[in-house]
A and B are shown apart, each in its own frame.
Chain A
Amino acid sequence: MNITFNPMGFVEQLPRMGVGMLVIFVVIGLIILTTMLINWLFSK
């Protein structure tokens, strides 16, 4: 059993939470833009 109780662990991970969500939105944003572009280029 390796359980501890360290409330500061939550605070310490907040920057990672922010960075993680930012990266995911950036990647998805790029995919959206690229998808719109290929939709426009190859639409009938």
Chain B
Amino acid sequence: MEILYENLLKFQWQDIVMILLGCLLIFLAIKKEMEPSLLLPMGLGTILVNIPGSTALVGPIQELYNAGIANELFPLLLFIGIGAMIDFGPLLTNPKLMLFGAAAQFGIFFTLAMASVFFPDAKDAASIAIIGAADGPTSIAVANTLGSNYKGAITVAAYSYMALVPVIQPPVIKALTTKKERMIKMPYEQKSVSKTTRIMFPIIITVVASAIVPDATALIGFLMFGNLIRECGVLESLSQTAQNVLANLITIFLGISVAFNMVADKFLQVDTLLIMGLGLVAFIVDTAGGVLFAKLINVFSKKKINPMIGAAGISAFPMSGRIVHKMGLEEDPQNFLLMHSIGVNVSGQIASVIAGGIILSMFGG
């Protein structure tokens, strides 16, 4: 009879809390549709690894973790899919939009300073700061390369806040802009971009960014490889596969193997709550950085820009770009900001990867 309850007696309250957390992640994925392709496998993975005596933890999940996260393979492969999804067209017609992508990375460096107040290990502080990249694969890759003790919490924070961008950004944008500023219209000049330019762009970005920030080479290289597959025009089937099948499969593996770090003794700490708080700070300061930079440009420029588009530089593609567009329409139904905000949004994707490389070069040695 012992066999029926022997293992049940091994349950501790921490295991129960983690299993409930796993259920919450699954609930958010299904009911609220928050990053379901990631949060669902992550939720189930959390349940699997927190059952006492589980054969999943020291077994398939550990193997997946070692095969795809410990060596950063999964985040990089996912970047191929993301690169294949991105149309850099709006950015290529107005390259200056990339400045907003750079400005909106301020949250990373601000959070680095904030995290250093609480976390004495600079590598932990840097790993927490990269939540501000608003880009899950970059956060995972950087935290893993730096050997952070908080990979699980960092991943949960990065993906949760990405999904919560529609809740986090609008109040910050409204607090920093006037109604008059939000109503600024930005006519979109339709310009054609040659196929050669579209093909050259990912190659040039890879070379320029990697030459200056070599630690970003793998991240930017895989992202741009995906984009090159999309734009080359001779790999349409592969492009579709990368955008759909590859991205979905890797996200599932990524989610379930991240759960390797979601065991109770690693996750249920005050540190985790603090990391969640710092992640929120990073997203807020990112948004503020982009908006305030746009306002600064307006001081010197005759041609006014709608400062809301600066907020889209946070990455979190494409939600952030869509939110800014929607907020513009709420102020004035004729205010179409989509092409500008998406242009800024994809530049945020590039800038966040470069920021990840900068963090690695600062703390990776």
Chain A residues with CB under 8 Å of chain B are 1-7, 9-14, 16-17, 19-21, 23-32, 34-36, 38-39, 42-44
Main secondary structure of the interface of B (DSSP, over half): helix
Indicate whether B209 reaches chain A with its CB closer than 8 angstroms.
yes
Query: Nearest chain B CB to A25's CB is how many angstroms away?
Result: 5
With contacts A16-B109, A35-B95 taken as known, whether A28 is within 8 angstroms of B117 at the C-beta atoms is: no
Stretch at the interface among B26-34, B76-84, B196-204, B332-340: B196-204
The docked-state distance in angstroms from the alpha carbon of A35 to that of B350 is: 13
Q: Check B119 against A2 for contact (C-beta < 8 Å).
A: yes
With contacts A14-B113, A17-B113, A39-B92 taken as known, whether A2 is within 8 angstroms of B121 at the C-beta atoms is: yes
The docked-state distance in angstroms from the alpha carbon of A31 to that of B89 is: 15
Point out the residue from A3, A13, A29, A42 that lies within 8 Å of B197, measured CB to CB.
A42
Indicate whether B349 reaches chain A with its CB closer than 8 angstroms.
no
Q: Check B119 against A28 for contact (C-beta < 8 Å).
A: no
Point out the residue from A2, A4, A36, A38 that lies within 8 Å of B200, measured CB to CB.
A38
Point out the residue from B101, B149, B270 that lies within 8 Å of A28, measured CB to CB.
B101
Query: Nearest chain A CB to B190's CB is how many angstroms away?
Result: 13
The docked-state distance in angstroms from the alpha carbon of A29 to that of B109 is: 19
Indicate whether B194 reaches chain A with its CB closer than 8 angstroms.
yes
The docked-state distance in angstroms from the alpha carbon of A8 to that of B81 is: 41
Query: Nearest chain B CB to A3's CB is how many angstroms away?
Result: 5
Indicate whether B99 reaches chain A with its CB closer than 8 angstroms.
yes
Indicate whether B98 reaches chain A with its CB closer than 8 angstroms.
yes
Chain B residues with CB under 8 Å of chain A are 91-92, 95-96, 98-99, 101-102, 105-106, 108-110, 112-114, 116-121, 124-125, 149, 192-194, 196-197, 200-201, 204-205, 208-209, 212-213, 269-271, 274, 347, 350-351, 354-355, 358-359, 362
What would be 15 A-B contacts, judged by CB atoms less than 8 Å apart? Answer: A3-B270, A3-B271, A9-B117, A10-B113, A10-B117, A13-B116, A17-B109, A21-B105, A23-B212, A26-B212, A27-B208, A28-B102, A31-B205, A39-B95, A43-B197
Q: Check B362 against A16 for contact (C-beta < 8 Å).
A: yes
Inter-chain contacts of B113 with A (CB < 8 A): 9-11, 13-14, 16-17
